Chain A
Amino acid sequence: MRCGDFKENYIKDEEIFPSSLAKFSLAIFLVFLALFPFIANAHMLYIANMIGFAIIGAIGLNLLTGFTGQISLGHAAFIGIGAYTSAILITRCGVPFWASVPLAGLVSALAGMVIGIPSLRVKGLYLCIATLAAQFILGFVFVRWESMTKGITGIHIPPPAIGDLAFDTEKTFYWITLFFVLLGVGYARNLIRSKMGRAFVAIRDRDLAAEIMGINLFRYKLSAFAISSFYAGVAGALWVSFLKVVTPEHFPFMLCIQYLAMVIVGGLGSVIGSIFGAVFMTLVPELLNVLSDVVKAYQPGMEKLIIPFKQVVFGFLIVGFLIFEPRGLAEIWNRVKRFFTLWPFSY
């Protein structure tokens, strides 16, 4: 019986699976994920897909904001760049979906690096405003560059396919989403244990001190922006292929805030936190929708209040988590886990 959480060296501390139990429970969870499409209905699978895209995007943002400490209010723009790149490649150049997703990621990463350049000179609030400006300018480009993006009418995208097998339903697309989510989570989880991951954390804690210790700020800040936008681009490409259409309205400033909220509610600087955050922030509006149906049955006319009510709940979630649990759902998860592993001798 364990009565404490003791790590004797750094290698142990950095392990992805601290015990065979963790490996086992993860395996069970993966089996559940694989069986999920067979037990769920179309709406549940739709939400599952949405959660998948949110997880990829949120991990990307968490790598930048949570691990490297560079605040980005322009995440939606990167998602948009990925989405449009993939849409344009598929419809204009006839690139297959499978090649368009990584290409979308690369283009996003490039854009992320360009926008990341000011991060070398400005930081904190000023960087936050710079990324905000980038978000609005790119949003403007999506609307006005009609020869490429077809403006507000948007681009229609054919569903991805292998041979005759088309991934055009929620159920079939689920496999694509699952594949990319697992890839993304696995990469992020390993990245933060590497030299680069530790450099990110050092920059977050104090960038000047990190530079003195021999971390090349230019290189690592830009890599953080690039990796983060790569994730965003992939999330965007998958998302619009799933929706089969892309319009500029998909990437408003609100989307950035939603992603930031996921990262904060889930826990800054934690990969599993981003997953929790993405799941939580996608499910809460769904629950409110269910609630609005219930309300409609009893009190007709009240349901039009549900849209602003969602916003109020959203605001309260952000404020509440920041005040009462700044380390997010990941910390709650850890606490619950610790309680059970150490029970009954938790000293």
Chain B
Amino acid sequence: MATGGVYGLIALGFVLIYKATSVLNLAMGEFMTLGAFICFTALTVMHVPFTIAFILTIIFSILLGIVIEPLILRPMIGEPIISVIMVTIGLGAILRGLIYMIWDPTYRAFPQIFPPEPLKLGFAVVPSGLFWGFLFAVITAAVFILIFKFSRTGVAMRATAFDQQAALSMGVSVRGVFALSWSFGAIAAVIGGIVIGNISGIDIYMGDIGLAVLSVIILGGLDSIGGAILGGFIVGVLQNLVGLYIDPLIGGGAKQVAPFFIVLIILMIRPYGLFGKVTIERV
């Protein structure tokens, strides 16, 4: 379930960006890694308490979104999809290289943030990292949904996603919304990174999970926030079930590819996901 929570969070990051700017950000995994590393450095090198490290990471991810969007993505408006995707892949390569240059590629364990005792939840004993990770994911998702539903910014973002020109004429700063949604996406990814770093430690290859998350957004639909969260849990659970029941049969490894099988199956049956918008095309 915690894996599902993290998947849901990163998928949320994808969806937040896609909904407002119609860009599929394949550098999401690198955002996540970067966030985890920054939080890690704040905790171990600067020795600040977790709350401050967390806030620092969030501030950083906001800056990341605000810097990257106008610099790299804005010139891409109106370009074909392939260019937009490739620009995010290039961005991912840059970030990955930079992370590699600044921090070593070695694996590290995350310092203990949550109380270490396993929790007893009635019928089952849950490792604390998983439980807190799950809780974290759910809270973040809820906060994002509330922002979207009730705050002025959220309304502006929804308006932009619905119709950019109409939003523009109603006085919404579409540019601001674009930058903001990149920031929001980065925040979601970064929190996902912290949670997963907490469960299984961090190294520079943890960003690969970003690609597995694609199956989540395909399942939920590229533009559905609820779908992203729900899809995250479904894929997380399915993946662990596959790991449990199918891995022993074929000797391991099935867990990692399971999300991609899910993608193919969904695309065959419901090409626009469970909750995605079905677009009508006209020539």
Contacts and interface: CB of A to CB of B under 8 A. Distances in A.
B264 A137 contact: yes
B101 A260 contact: no
Given A130-B263, A319-B91, A122 B271 contact: yes
Interface stretch (B49-57, B151-159, B174-182, B214-222): B214-222
Given A140-B253, A206-B283, A308-B97, A319 B263 contact: no
Contacts of B72: 319, 323
B214 A318 contact: no
Interface in B31-57: none
Say what secondary structure dominates the interface of chain B.
Answer: helix
A126 B264 CA distance: 10
Contacts of B75: 323
B121 interface: no
A262 to B, nearest CB: 11
A128 B250 CA distance: 28
Given A125-B24, A264-B83, A257 B93 contact: yes
Given A125-B24, A144-B250, A315-B94, A136 B211 contact: yes
A248 to B, nearest CB: 11
Contacts of A312: 93-94, 97-98, 101
Interface in B163-215: 211, 214-215
B283 A212 contact: yes
A253 interface: yes
Tier of interface size on chain A? 35 or more
Contacts of B267: 118, 121-122, 126, 129-130, 133
Given A125-B24, A132-B214, A137 B261 contact: yes
A71 B97 contact: no
Interface in B102-143: none
Contacts of A319: 72, 87, 90-91, 94
Contacts of A260: 82, 86, 89
Interface string A322-345: 110010000000000000000000
Contacts of B97: 308-315
B155 to A, nearest CB: 26
B100 A314 contact: no
B101 A305 contact: yes
A268 B85 CA distance: 14
Nearest to A208: B283
A128 B85 contact: yes
- B76, B250, B256, B263 — most chain A CB neighbours (10 Å): B263
A65 to B, nearest CB: 6
A309 to B, nearest CB: 7
Given A311-B100, A312-B101, A323-B72, A261 B81 contact: no
A273 interface: no
B157 to A, nearest CB: 20
Nearest to B84: A322
13 contacts: A69-B80, A69-B82, A118-B271, A130-B264, A133-B214, A133-B215, A134-B260, A143-B253, A260-B82, A308-B98, A311-B94, A315-B93, A315-B94
Interface of B: 24, 72, 75-76, 79-83, 85-87, 89-101, 211, 214-215, 218, 222, 250-251, 253-254, 256-257, 260-261, 263-264, 267-268, 271-272, 281-283
